Amino acid sequence: MRSKLEDSLHKMKLLQFIPQIILLSTLLSGPAYGATCLAPQRPFVPSDPVAAAEYADLIRADFENYIRDVQEYFQCLDQERARAFEEAGEVSQQYGMFVNETRGE
């Protein structure tokens, strides 16, 4: 018979697998679910002009990365909208067939 401490430790060990389970279920969910389009984070520009000048190359690269990433984000949103629109049409047709089939009951 296990003690309460052993039970608690066992439960804590099982909890460590939750992030892996979530990640795995996300990866295996396939195209039946919508894409996750994540907006890029805005570039940071220091308010201190000396720091901005000192890190100008890094800040410039952050802006260029942001512009690239936001374009990819817009493409993802466009693709997700098209996918969801197509899915909604299919679901609407399925519902129409369902209503017609069950109307006679």
- Of the candidates 48, 41, 45, 78, the one whose C-alpha atom is nearest the C-alpha of residue 60 is 45
The phi and psi torsions of 2 (rounded to 5 degrees) equal: -90, 150
Whether residue 37 contacts residue 69, with contact meaning beta carbons closer than 8 Å, is answered with no
The whole-number average pLDDT for the span 9-18 is 62
Percent of the chain past pLDDT 90, that is, above it, reads 61
Whether residue 36 contacts residue 69, with contact meaning beta carbons closer than 8 Å, is answered with no
- Give dist(CA 21, CA 83) in Å, integer: 26
The residue that leads in pLDDT, 98 or 27, is 98
Per-residue model confidence as pLDDT tens digits over 23-47: 555 555 555 567 799 999 999 999 9
Query: Where residue 7 falls among pLDDT bands split at 50, 70, 90?
Result: low
Q: How far apart are the first and last CA of the chain?
A: 57
Model pLDDT, residue 35: 76
Q: Is the pTM of this model over 0.85?
A: no
The residue that leads in pLDDT, 27 or 97, is 97
Per-residue model confidence as pLDDT tens digits over 44-65: 999 999 999 999 999 999 999 9
